[in-house]
Amino acid sequence: MEFKAKEIAEILNGAVDGNPEATVTTFARIESGKPGAICFFANPKYEQYVYTCKADVIIVNKTFEPKEPVSATMVRVDDAYAAVATLLDYVTAKKRSYKRYRGCRSRVRWSSKIGKKVYIGDFAYVGKRSQIGDYTKIYEHVYVGDDVKIGSNCIIYPGVRIYPGMVIGNNVIIHANAVIGADGFGFAPLEDGTWKKIEHTGNVVIEDDVEIGANTCIDKSQMGSTLICRGVKLDNLCQIAHNVEIGPDTVMAGQVAVAGSAKLGRHCIVGGQAGIAGHITIADNTSIAGQSGIMNSVKQEGQNLMGSPAFPLKQYLRSYAVFKNAGK
């Protein structure tokens, strides 16, 4: 990549404060910016580095008022954090090539329908009657079962396993070794103390613009569909059980576990290692702190919850001030 400050400002709808001809060829963190690099400053905790950074260009908020001289050219934007995401996406898109490729050691069943300029790596397998949309990349060692539907512009990284009958929308990214569509954890107790497996006949439906982290598992439903709605982002090592529904634009950090038939609303934020019990409903715009346990339905929208069992954050902090000293 090679960009001038004025070109970056044009891409980001920003304004140049400094030399519009300043040229960058790489990205860097603001703590370690070097000549030829572009950095961004969005968190006030890092302001000290703005004055010592050696990068040629720094993306900053329009409201930023330096307290000391800044040697780098600044590109002022409405939201520096969002702007760098836009720029990274722009650079990635320019590098991305769309060439039809099928590895000679891959296997695609004759009844499958493959769109234009689809990449299928070596040792990948695409089952009977499956459909792969245009410009999708199926990397090496991916298993796609029978009757799977995958949309356009998807990226399926190495080692992913997609069981038969799953449905995946457009612009979906699934990272390495994720498993989509394994049986849920369903067993019926018998009188002799053994457990009878309950067959799962449903599937998983993943809507558009979803990203799923490495080693995450999403189980298919007993009946109907486990549903991951548009714009959901799941981190690595998450467990989504059968018949779960995750609302649009909800995000989950690593090692979150959601038990069967739970329903999360739109734009929820779930911290790492949190656990959500089965058969409950979480209201829209709920934020759940890391390692929290949600045992009951959350009916009021917009709450911040913490603890196990979790309750509103302000109450938790007041309670913590008492119980942390209980043993003294």
Q: Which residue has the tokens 């995000």?
A: 251
For residues 142-163, give the mean pLDDT. 98
What is the rounded CA–CA span in Å between residue 176 and residue 158? 5
Lowest mean pLDDT among 53-57, 87-91, 145-149, 170-174: 87-91
**Residue 99 confidence (pLDDT) above 90:** no
Residue 264, phi then psi, degrees to nearest 5: -105, 140
What is the rounded CA–CA span in Å between residue 67 and residue 51? 9
From the centroid of its chain, how far is CA 220?
19
**Residue 324 confidence (pLDDT) above 80:** no
In a 13 Å sphere around the CA of 25, the CA atoms on its Cβ side amount to 3
Rg of the chain in Å (alpha carbons) = 24
Specify the pLDDT at position 65: 94
Share the mean pLDDT of the chain.
Answer: 94
For residues 57-63, give the mean pLDDT. 96
β-bridge pairing 149-150 and 26-27: unpaired
Please tell me which residue, 277 or 98, carries the higher pLDDT value: 277
**Residue 3 confidence (pLDDT) above 70:** yes
The per-residue pLDDT for range 182-209, each reduced to its tens digit, is: 999 999 999 999 999 999 999 999 999 9
Contact yes or no for 242/202 (Cβ under 8 A): yes
The pLDDT-based confidence of 102 (bands split at 50, 70, 90) is confident
Instruction: Enter the pTM of the model.
Output: 0.87
Q: Which residue has the tokens 């769309």?
A: 98
Contact yes or no for 223/237 (Cβ under 8 A): no
For residues 210-232, give the mean pLDDT. 97
In a 13 Å sphere around the CA of 306, the CA atoms on its Cβ side amount to 11
Partner residues linked to 161 by β-bridges: 143, 179
The pLDDT-based confidence of 322 (bands split at 50, 70, 90) is confident
For residues 138-158, give the mean pLDDT. 97
What is the rounded CA–CA span in Å between residue 302 and residue 1? 41
For residues 206-215, give the mean pLDDT. 98
Cα dihedral 210, 249, 274, 261 in deg (nearest 10):
-80
Q: Which residue has the tokens 């090692």?
A: 255
Specify the pLDDT at position 203: 97
Specify the pLDDT at position 328: 64
List of domains in the chain: 3-95 (3.40.1390.10), 101-319 (2.160.10.10)
For residues 169-183, give the mean pLDDT. 98
What is the rounded CA–CA span in Å between residue 213 and residue 220? 17
Distances (CA, A) of 91 to 35, 257, 290, 299: 19, 34, 33, 42
267 is catalytic: no
Specify the pLDDT at position 103: 87
Q: Which residue has the tokens 């107790």?
A: 189
What is the rounded CA–CA span in Å between residue 284 and residue 32? 39
**Residue 131 confidence (pLDDT) above 80:** yes
Specify the pLDDT at position 318: 84
> What 8-state DSSP symbol labels residue 217?
E
Q: Which of 175, 200, 242, 267 is catalytic?
A: 242
What is the rounded CA–CA span in Å between residue 204 and residue 189? 26
**Residue 327 confidence (pLDDT) above 70:** no
